[in-house]
Amino acid sequence: MTIRIEDLSSLLPDRMSDYVKTEKSFFLKSLFSEDMENKVNRIIRDVEKRGDIALIEATKRFDGVSLNAGGIKVSNEQIDAAGRGFDDNFYHAVDLSIKRVRKYHELAAAKDWMYSDDTGSTFGQKYTPLERVGIYIPGGKASYPSTLIMTAVPALVAGVKEIAVVSPPSSFEDHSPLASVIKKLEGITDIYRVGGVQGVAALAFGTQTIKKVDKIVGPGNIYVTLAKKLLYGYVDIDMIAGPSEVLVISDGSEDPELTAADLLAQAEHDEQARALCVTLSPENARDIRARVEKLTEKSVRKDIIKKSIDDSGRIFIVRDLDCAAALANAIAPEHLEIQTGDPGALLDKIQNAGAIFLGRYSPEAIGDYIAGPSHVLPTGGTARFFSPLSTTSFTKFSSVIDVSKNGLDILGRHAARIARAEGLYSHAESITLREELD
């Protein structure tokens, strides 16, 4: 295993975007094949048509677990039993994470606002929480109870009344970290032991057991992500997320072992995870590579890390920090760490990143669990136009328009002129009729 080093020191900042485009086979890998889309569509349509029966058959086929209709929903008693066996330190950590995530999103929550103009008319926005939201929690190679905190807490702060959780059956076996977190969160209304494409489809369409939702959030594997993409329009979704990724900007002022540790923290997610670094010198690049190789051999997940680093790991050498910022903006990473002598000085130059971690004491992993912002972030370059999950992900707003008589007298004739120019004379008439009212 080795992490590849790319020398981009000949490129100026305005060339970084072109470089990323020419290397799109690496940076913008196609996630979905036609064959994959056909397979996912068949499962979706089967769940839409046959409901619980399709869920039961798919769960047996993909998870090797036999369910009956009564076993799809997880009871409070089952959650309580599965969530036992953790020590007080773990529960304290969970409580602290929930508290911090709640506080952050309370501060960030969108609020109704109104203003009055010089005509005496009032305008504004009224925010309303979604009624029912579905959260997908992955199973598989790692269990992610932290994802429930990072999705459910913003939804609860936003005022969502009903929250349904779906996750593979393995998530609810004895000594389940996910169940232990569910026990701590008041406001989770429904929990279902179905995962994969079939679980997402059930949330979108509803079945005999599962009530449909307005929006589906939460990360999943490539099949779950494709299912969300195909179901968008039947329901809203948070984003189309690909493999997780980190980009570390290192100017050589920090210990290369810290940089290497953060790259491995990303690579251990799965074989497709992307661990990237931008540095200013060949010497620092080689030091980081050596530390990556050393730390990998000590990791309990070294097989996953080796595959990830071989396929998707890179260290880029650039001429200065302006070039580093330009490359970061072109890549638009999910996580961006700035490990420089003055990380704040680079912040204003960053336009495209899901989450930005400043300085030696802000590793990405602290954001994964306890910092406060949600760790559900845009990936695969979509930070150019997507934002992290937040309370606004669970609300919608209505425009509020309250025009005074004086406002109609002043504004109405201008609106009527535009309406007539568009050939919409009834629009103009609906305005002019009101001009005669007291």
Contact 4, 289 (CB under 8 A): no
- Which of 245, 254, 268, 334 is catalytic? The answer is 334
What is the CB-side half-sphere exposure of residue 35 using CA atoms within 13 A? 0
Q: Tell if the pTM clears 0.75, that is, is over it.
A: yes
User: Which 3 state secondary structure label does DSSP give 344?
Assistant: helix
Please say if the pLDDT value at position 31 is more than 80.
Answer: no
Position 143 scores a pLDDT of 65
State phi, psi for 356 to the nearest 5 degrees: -120, 125
Beta bridge partners of 381: none
Please say if the pLDDT value at position 362 is more than 70.
Answer: yes
pLDDT in tens, 238-269: 998 888 999 999 999 999 999 999 999 999 98
Among residues 123, 103, 101, the alpha carbon closest in space to that of 114 is found at 123
Domains in the chain, ordered, with CATH?
4-31+242-371 (3.40.50.1980), 34-241 (3.40.50.1980), 403-435 (no CATH)
* Encoded tokens for 214: 């307005």
Q: What is the DSSP letter of 211?
A: P
* Encoded tokens for 81: 């039993």
Q: How confident is the model at residue 212 (pLDDT cuts 50, 70, 90)?
A: very high
User: Which 3 state secondary structure label does DSSP give 59?
Assistant: helix
What ranges in 353-424 are assigned the alpha helix state H? 364-369, 405-421
Q: What is the DSSP letter of 144?
A: -
What is the percent of the chain with per-residue pLDDT over 90, rounded to a whole number? 90
Position 162 scores a pLDDT of 98
- Residue in this structure with the two tokens 């931008």, named with its chain if needed: 278
In the residue annotation, 334 being an active-site residue is answered as yes
CA 11-15-19 angle, to 5 degrees, is 90
Contact 188, 210 (CB under 8 A): no
- Which of 105, 269, 335, 375 is catalytic? The answer is 335
Among residues 256, 247, 312, 302, the alpha carbon closest in space to that of 282 is found at 256
CA–CA gap between residue 188 and residue 218 (Å, rounded): 15
Contact 394, 158 (CB under 8 A): yes
Show Cβ contacts of residue 38 under 8 Å, excluding neighbours closer than 6 positions: none
Average pLDDT for the chain: 95
pLDDT in tens, 274-327: 999 999 999 999 999 999 999 999 999 999 999 999 999 999 999 999 999 999
Strand ranges in 214-324 using DSSP code E only, listed in sequence order: 215-217, 236-237, 245-250, 274-279, 314-317
Q: Please compute the mean of the pLDDT values over residues 64-68 and round it to a whole number.
A: 94
Q: Which amino acid is at 209?
A: T
Q: Please compute the mean of the pLDDT values over residues 364-370 and round it to a whole number.
A: 97
Please say if the pLDDT value at position 1 is more than 90.
Answer: no
Q: Which amino acid is at 36?
A: M
In the residue annotation, 106 being an active-site residue is answered as no
Please say if the pLDDT value at position 137 is more than 80.
Answer: yes
Position 141 scores a pLDDT of 52
